[in-house]
Homo-oligomer: A and B are copies of this chain.
Amino acid sequence: MGRPSTTCSTRKNPNLMRTTLDFLLYDWLNVENLTECERYAEHSRETFDSVLDTSARIARERFAPFNRLVDLEEPQFDGERVHLPRETGEAVAAYAQAGLLAAGHDYGHGGMQLPYVIDMAANSFFAMASIGLSAYGMLTYANCNLLLAHGTQAQIRAFASPEMEGRFFGTMCLSEPQAGSSLGDIQTRALPDAGAYEADPLGPRYRIFGSKMWISGGEHDLSENIVHLVLAKVPGADGAMRAGVKGISLFAVPRELVDGDGRCTGRRNDIALAGLNHKLGYRGTVNTLLNFGEGRFPVGGEEGTDTGNGAIGYLIGKQGEGLKYMFHMMNEARINVGMGASMLAYAGYLASLDYAQNRPQGRPYGRAGKDPSIAPVPIIQHADVKRMLLAQKTYAEGGLALGLYCARLVDLKNTGGPRERADAERLLQVLTPIAKSWPSEWGLEANNLAIQVLGGAGYTRDFPVEQYWRDNRLNMIHEGTHGIQGLDLLGRKVAADSGADFKLLVERIEATIVAARSHTELSDFGLALEQSLIDLTEATTAALTDVSAEVGLANATLYLQGFGHTVMAWIWLDIAAAAITCAKQDGSRDSDFYQGKLQAARYFFRYELPKVEAWLRPCVTHDDTCLRMQETWF
């Protein structure tokens, strides 16, 4: 990880989250180093801070105040159009106007050319303020990123540029009603558009037919247009579609047809909203079932050369490469999902911290505690409330740190030297499933604890914590379920290349353990982490060798949990070491802040890390209890 810079950031910001964010960025990850590379040479801590300040302000003014509103007034479909609260439009407009839809993109595209880690830090404010409102920008950004990476110049001009300007929004259309986790089973078809296949400047033109499920931002009036990126299959000469993921291609399918400069033509594409999903949470984001090419909005060929059947879509890149392109985007989207989960955890942490500081109830132990005539104390003085707050702190701040660390790896992958790039790529392989799954699981638990701190009040809609909990429940499901993350980690990422990526991660963790030895306060933690690393390595070997894949992968979710907590212990050990170093440099200044980081690390090592062994045991013993359970026994 980054070496702490020689002068530690001063912790003056009254916003607890911002203070921690600054510490993680500047002291822990030392992101100012990034300005030494050419791409970010024009940036400085000042420009980074300016983006963070602007983001914090817009999030505070335009997102946070309406988070409950967009939960209560969930999207409505009247058969013609989708109704969203006015404030949704104002929030996303403010986000776009600040240039945040192009924050990381090239100057040449009108972007700010910010490092990904700063972009992610900026977005953390929006996720914390209102995850539902923040999704439109996130989706559009990811969509645009993919177009920039794999689209033609014409496609970039027509679709991506309007997205960076905030005129068009974007979606990702992967799932179908019958195909969620199993994308190889999608049935959406793309047929070459006979008359116009080659003539269209926007690329090979196809007609798309099929239904796409769980499409966030799939229909709304927030932008001039919506660019759907759609996975579909092109049938072979025999009319049959290739089974499995290898037959999947990617298409840009605009809600309204555009000309080569990204101007809307006024001609509606054949994309019909079949219905909205009414969700447990995350209601600020409209979620849809879309029918492509059902004939509701027929589009004739420009020169009358075709039948007008099907939605018009343009092939992105090469046929059959669709899933690869999508996963280019998906990997960053998964880190983003984890970041969203961490920020929901942070929001709940701060809300419950505030409540605990202000709610009097009960008395401390000891003689005074037996005297009912003395005044009650704020509940933050009770050990069990502190436990619930400390747990939330480790989940929220630890998740934030892991997300930022991964984002910085993305920057290294994009701008580092050859060795740095290769290493970053390897580390991201094994860390992405953790960056997605760990905050999704433990951020949810953080929100659960936030409700518990508030007690009955937390169970009402008078306080925000119940909404955070509902909102956060999505994160273990979308962008690859928890179970899929486990299989991806153990069956694919850790197994790949004879475990070379995993080995590199272990080396990095060991380097942190070695470095932490210079701090006597941390010696126990280093030993404990060493042991978890041994357990994890043993579980990895056990799962991948001397046993069928069926048995080895049967406990992949438990492996994911054990792996995740081990990674998080590493993160906390490294944060603790950085805090000690900063504390020494700062003298008495901010000592509370650093003590908090140390105590959080202590909590994690003593209360959380011991769980690793329990999770990994079934992996080590090849336990087949679940695998052998029969359907008739339930």
Contact = CB atoms under 8 A, between A and B. Distances in A.
A353 interface: yes
Contact of A243 (B180, B373, B459, B556): B373
B477 A459 contact: yes
A302 interface: no
Contact of A459 (B372, B473, B617): B473
Contacts of A389: 629, 634
Contacts of A474: 459
Contact of A357 (B180, B182, B606, B631): B631
A238 to B, nearest CB: 14
A210 interface: no
Given A361-B181, A599-B633, A476 B452 contact: yes
Contacts of A452: 476-477, 481-483
A184 B596 CA distance: 34
A623 interface: yes
Given A278-B460, A278-B461, A180 B482 contact: no
A458 interface: yes
Query: Which of A459, A554, A617 is packed against the most chain B CB atoms within 10 Å?
Result: A459
A626 B614 contact: no
Contacts of A599: 625, 628-630, 633
Contact of A478 (B456, B613, B618): B456
A76 interface: no
Interface string A542-575: 0000001110011111100000000000000000
Interface stretch (A107-115, A335-343, A376-384, A403-411): A376-384
A630 B592 contact: yes
Interface stretch (A129-137, A266-274, A362-370, A505-513): A362-370
A373 B243 CA distance: 6
A197 interface: no
Contacts of A628: 599
A243 B372 contact: yes
Contacts of A371: 243
A390 B384 CA distance: 31
A486 interface: yes
Contacts of A244: 372-373
Nearest to A557: B384
Contacts of A179: 361
A381 B452 CA distance: 36
A561 to B, nearest CB: 11
A386 B181 contact: no
Copies in the complex: 2
A277 interface: yes
A617 B627 contact: no
Contact of A549 (B357, B365, B381, B455): B365
Nearest to A245: B372
A607 interface: yes
Interface in A267-318: 277-281
Contacts of A386: 626-627, 629
A383 B557 CA distance: 10
B456 A213 contact: yes
Nearest to A624: B383
A482 B373 CA distance: 26
Contacts of A553: 365, 383
Contacts of A549: 365-366
Nearest to A382: B483
B483 A456 contact: no
A451 B549 CA distance: 27
B184 A372 contact: yes
Given A459-B473, A550-B364, A614-B610, A393 B634 contact: yes
A182 B353 contact: no
Contact of A390 (B184, B448, B629): B629
A462 B289 CA distance: 14
A7 interface: no
A141 interface: no
A123 interface: no
Contacts of A157: none
Contacts of A456: 175, 180, 213-214, 277, 477-478
A325 interface: no
A596 B633 contact: yes
Contacts of A185: 361, 372, 376
A243 B548 CA distance: 67
A357 B557 CA distance: 21
Interface in A78-129: none
Interface string A587-624: 00000110110010011001100110110011001010
Contact of A483 (B366, B384, B627): B384
A104 B430 CA distance: 59
Given A383-B553, A444-B448, A448-B473, 11 more contacts: A16-B634, A182-B362, A182-B363, A277-B462, A365-B553, A366-B548, A384-B556, A393-B634, A592-B632, A596-B634, A607-B625
16 contacts: A181-B361, A182-B363, A185-B372, A278-B460, A280-B466, A280-B470, A365-B548, A366-B550, A383-B554, A384-B554, A387-B555, A389-B629, A389-B634, A390-B629, A595-B633, A607-B618
In the complex, the 8 A-B pairs of residues with the closest C-beta atoms, listed nearest first: A244-B372, A596-B633, A610-B614, A243-B372, A383-B554, A387-B626, A365-B550, A280-B466
